[in-house]
Structure formats: C-alpha cells, structure tokens
C-alpha cells in the first residue's frame, strides 16, 4: 500500500466531512490546537453530594488525540486539577496552592482510555479535528448516529455521537468508561449532552454541556 492510499483510507466518511463543514471546520486548517474556557460544577467522587464550582482552561489538538484541561475549584480556590492526554498517555494531577502536589494518578491503560473517550466525546468543541485528526476511525450507524474510535489494545475505545434535527451533535455515549482513574476500574455507561450552539471564530460550537 502506498502512502497516498493509506491517507485516502484515513479520510472520514462523507457524512462526517459534511458534518464538520456544516460546523465551520476548514478543509485547509492552519492551526494545530484550539483553546477555550469553561465554567461548571463537578463532584469530587460519585459518593459525594457536594457539587463544587470550577473555572477551567482547555487546549485540544485537531491533529492528534491530545488535550490539557486545567481547572480551579471554588470555594477551595487553592485546589487545581490537571486532566490531560499527552503523548498517548493519560494524566490526572491535583495540586494545592499551585505548588504542592496532592495527588497524581499512576499511568495505566484505564486512565489513558478514559482520556481518549473524553477527547472523542468533546469533538463538537473542535470540529476541525473531525477532518484533520487521522488517528480517528469512523463508521456510520444511521442517518443520525455516528461512531468514532481511537486507541489500540487495552486503550481502544468507541464513542457514539447522536445528531439532532438540525444535524448538529447533541449527545455522546460510551458504554464502558472506567469509573475511576485508580483501581478498581469498574466500567460504567458515560454520557454527554450538548446544546446552545453559537458561532465562535466561524465555527458552530455548543456552549452548554
């Protein structure tokens, strides 16, 4: 197989290309990463009833499966969390006062796979990646459902993306994401929902998730 033939095989199906273009992705994307800010609430554990507000900054690659998410939690403003997929490995660090390392997950396949799932689910935030990330493989399930896969071996994963009546991504689902970055790695269903698309730098991006 020639290099040209291999690149042809990695092109997304026309349905995916059409979706990316509708969302504003550029066929000749000139940048490698996108960056955005977030505000939200998160529980530190499934057993906790307390939802902590956070602000975050994320960078996400459109050429490979990689991202870095840096969040600061309130009212514990001294606590910061870094969640990342870098050089093919997952990373989760918790820091106090920006200097003191409180916790760091040991690199493992379950952590990396969980971060890959997150990357795939967040593709609506970076539609150019649908065209230009050749690490992704796609299959069309039906007119309103797409599946995207990445990884290999123990890190192989698939996320199913659902399209709404306006042909934008409104949901993401994985049947078996690890419940924790540390043992036991019990698999659980994991879902995302996206809404309130707005135009940002020529791209239609969901502003609520």
What tokens appear for 103 in the block? Answer: 């916790």
Q: How far apart are CA 160 and CA 35, in angstroms?
A: 24
pLDDT digits (tens, 9 = 90+) for 179-206: 877 777 889 999 999 999 999 999 999 9
pLDDT digits (tens, 9 = 90+) for 54-70: 999 999 999 999 999 99
Please name every residue paired with 56 in a beta bridge, in sequence order, or none if there are none: 38, 71
Task: List, in order, residues 6 or more apart from 81 with CB less than 8 Å away.
Answer: 54, 69, 70, 71, 73, 92, 93, 94, 95
Give the chain's end-to-end CA distance (angstroms, integer): 42
What's the pTM? 0.91
Q: How far apart are CA 199 and CA 206, in angstroms?
A: 9
Please name every residue paired with 187 in a beta bridge, in sequence order, or none if there are none: 178
pLDDT at residue number 76: 59
The region of weakest confidence among 94-108, 109-123, 152-166, 191-205 is: 94-108
């Amino acid at each position: 197989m020639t290099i040209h033939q291999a690149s042809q095989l990695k092109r997304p199906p026309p349905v995916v290309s059409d979706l990316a273009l509708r969302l504003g992705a550029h066929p000749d994307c000139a940048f490698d990463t996108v960056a955005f800010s977030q505000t939200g609430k998160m529980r530190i554990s499934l057993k906790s009833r307390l939802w902590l507000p956070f602000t975050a900054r994320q960078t996400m690659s459109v050429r490979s499966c990689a991202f870095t998410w840096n969040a600061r939690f309130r009212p514990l403003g001294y606590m910061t969390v870094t969640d990342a997929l870098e050089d093919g490995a997952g990373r989760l660090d918790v820091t106090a006062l920006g200097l003191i390392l409180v916790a760091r997950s040991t690199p493992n396949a379950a952590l990396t796979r969980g971060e890959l799932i997150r990357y795939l689910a967040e593709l609506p935030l970076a539609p150019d990646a649908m065209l230009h990330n050749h690490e992704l493989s796609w299959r069309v399930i039906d007119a309103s459902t797409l599946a995207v896969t990445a990884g290999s071996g123990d890190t192989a994963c698939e996320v199913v993306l659902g399209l709404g009546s306006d042909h934008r991504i409104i949901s993401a689902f994985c049947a078996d994401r690890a419940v924790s970055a540390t043992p036991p790695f019990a698999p659980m269903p994991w879902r995302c929902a996206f809404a309130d698309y707005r135009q940002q730098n020529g791209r239609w991006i969901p502003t609520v998730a």
